[in-house]
A and B are shown apart, each in its own frame.
Chain A
Amino acid sequence: MDQLLQHIFNALVLGGTYALLGIGLTLIFGIMNVVNFTHGALYTFGGYAMYLAAVALGLNFFVALPVALVAGLLVGAFIEFTLLRPLRRSDIDTTMLVMIGAGIIMQSGTLWIFGGVAKAVPTPFPAQPLTFGPVSLSYVNLFVLCAAVALIAITYFTINGTKLGRAMRATFQDHDTASLMGVNVSLIYTATFAIGSALASAAGALLGPVYVVTPQMGDLAAVKAFAIVILGGLGSISGATIGGFILAFAEELGAGYISSGYRDAMGFLIIIAVLLVKPTGLFARAERIG
């Protein structure tokens, strides 16, 4: 029972970060119909941005985090402006190939600049965990969970409660009509990709200090993000959020009670099972995003 409680706490923390990874990807797919293969590289970018801001520039941890988030926003806008905008009218395969290439360039660039050896980012949190009876929870993990939930909530609010969000949803439904109604579709695309990128970068910046920062950290993260998005249904933000938690619980309980050797397989087993029953994912993409 004690062990189960600990597993549940662990899964909640893990699920928050998985959800954060998933929504950035699903947002871009839902609105732009672009499969973002730079998602993992942007996650890595966030980790290194955090490392540069907190270690190289010596900024306060809580200042470095928004710096990494904004850096991700800018890089995302840059990618959209230089790579995706000229390819707006081309088919999904072409953009997919270009994005795979961009992802490889980003990863190799990181390796070239920083080398393959992992970097550690110190956190201001005490090393001693919070204990509730038999369950322990570290302050940094708790902070990551809160930050992830806050970012997810902000994204949700942006999409559903702001003028920008309304324009994004309109563009998603029918970009020609949206454009006739005075929505600047190009700007919406740039904003969407920038927000999605900022979320990936924020996830990297939050988890870099929890783990370590390496040029390959994005590989596994990207695989998980795709899994979550497929599980939750392409384009659905609530689907990605719930999908993230399902994956985390499957991994945590699978490793805890079945076999740790198959930890990463557990999540995929669930995905296969879900897709057999509901091929469009748990939350099929409706005619609107949100």
Chain B
Amino acid sequence: MLMSRRTTLAALAFSLLAGTAFAADTIKIGVNEPLTGAFAASGTYVVNGAKIAADEINAKGGILGKKVELVIEDNKSNPTEAASVAEKLITSDKVPVLMGAWGSSLTLATMPKLEEYSVPMLVETSSSGKITTSGNPFIFRISPPSSVEAEAFEPSVKKLGLKKVDFLVINNDWGRGAAADFSKMLKANGVEVGLVETMDQSAQDMSAQLAKLKASDADTIMVTSAVDQLTLLFKQMAALGLKKRIITTGGSQNPDQIIAQAGAAADGTMHLTTFLPWWPEKTPNPEATAYFLSEWKKRGFDFAGATESFRGYDGIRTVAAAIAAGGGTDPASIQKGFWKVDFKGLNGPIKFNKSGPAGKESGQSKPNVYIIEISGGKVNQVQLGG
């Protein structure tokens, strides 16, 4: 017994030593994403994109002479898990910087941990406005808040001739935030806002909400959710014979996956997205887009995931740029470095502007927003504005 305890202790000490020795050669980046649960598809794509970025950076010699190492953890699409994953990454893996946590509720749950340990986090997907306005100076976001999406969509309101809009949103910070921001913009443009229906993030049957929306006199339904739930929604809309204009927000639609899984049911739906992998030449950085897409294909990933995974790719590249700009591998240097980041991502320039209460500003980059339409089983771009 004594013997075995001593052996265990020795092994523990050795592994701790080995851990520190290892840490000296690499820069760890914590990745906090939903790999299981309701957002498994999206989170997995983001992680795959992140791996491409890490490999590219390491192939070019790393940053500050050190290799990048991603420490990937699953937050199970659950805010409580997202917070404990962040804590584990910071205290046990000793990562000086994080990327995450996909969903707005997941990111919001993680934010107090960032303040507690003073570690910065790059937010790659979440779109709730609260994330960058609540005065957390460790947050740097490259995805658009829903207010920016709404602003980008504003010129299309007249062009599409919207009169009355209902909402069907996922029942969390992301969905409710989107409904609030879009309602505000629509009302300012003289569009009537009708029902705001919600659905649980793991709900599979939305027929009750859809029956209610079908009976409403609105011409358009704005939907906020991720690809798996959207697929189900379009199938159930078709089953109910619900034929209204559908516009989705949030940029996690993976249109090609919707086409593959919902088929004709998705025809005519419109989607606000932040990346155009269908036309690499039209993207702000065609060269980087072409490289990313070829690498994505080479690894055998599904093309449908590109609209999601590009954020993981850009996210890790942004973190790397912050580490290089900050000149150090400690959290404080990286946090400073984020403010100096200025490079061209796959969807336009990544540069952080101050957002939120003075003295405790978060960083918010302003990406491009596009609108696409699925018709005849194909993705077509719709010009914003008119």
Contacts and interface: CB of A to CB of B under 8 A. Distances in A.
A106 to B, nearest CB: 14
Contact of B203 (A3, A140, A263): A263
Contacts of B263: 127
B198 to A, nearest CB: 5
A3 B239 contact: no
A141 B239 CA distance: 9
Q: Is the interface of A mostly helix, strand, loop or mixed?
A: helix
Nearest to B168: A260
B72 interface: no
Given A117-B41, A127-B264, A7 B211 contact: yes
Contact of B202 (A111, A128, A207, A216): A216
Q: Which of B35, B204, B209 counts the most A-chain CB atoms under 10 A from its CB?
A: B204
Interface stretch (A91-99, A168-176, A249-257): A249-257
B211 A3 contact: yes
A2 B197 CA distance: 19
Nearest to B74: A116
Interface in B190-241: 197-200, 202-205, 207-209, 211-212, 214-215, 228, 231-232, 235, 238-241
A3 B240 CA distance: 11
B58 interface: no
A263 B44 contact: no
Contact of B208 (A212, A214, A260): A260
B26 interface: no
Q: Is the interface of B mostly helix, strand, loop or mixed?
A: helix
Given A136-B240, A212-B232, A263-B208, A3 B214 contact: yes
Interface residues of A, number: 41
B385 interface: no
B241 A129 contact: yes
B171 interface: yes
Contacts of A211: 204-205, 232
Interface in B257-306: 260-261, 263-265
Nearest to B36: A116
A7 B208 contact: yes
Nearest to B241: A136
B200 to A, nearest CB: 6
Q: Identify the 10 closest CB pairs spanning chains A and B, nearest first.
A: A116-B40, A138-B239, A255-B208, A136-B241, A3-B215, A211-B204, A10-B207, A6-B211, A116-B36, A120-B261
28 contacts: A3-B211, A6-B240, A10-B208, A115-B40, A116-B35, A117-B41, A118-B40, A118-B41, A118-B231, A127-B235, A127-B264, A129-B239, A136-B241, A138-B239, A141-B239, A211-B205, A212-B204, A212-B228, A212-B231, A212-B261, A216-B37, A216-B38, A252-B208, A255-B212, A263-B208, A263-B209, A264-B200, A264-B203
Interface of B: 35-38, 40-41, 43-44, 171, 197-200, 202-205, 207-209, 211-212, 214-215, 228, 231-232, 235, 238-241, 260-261, 263-265
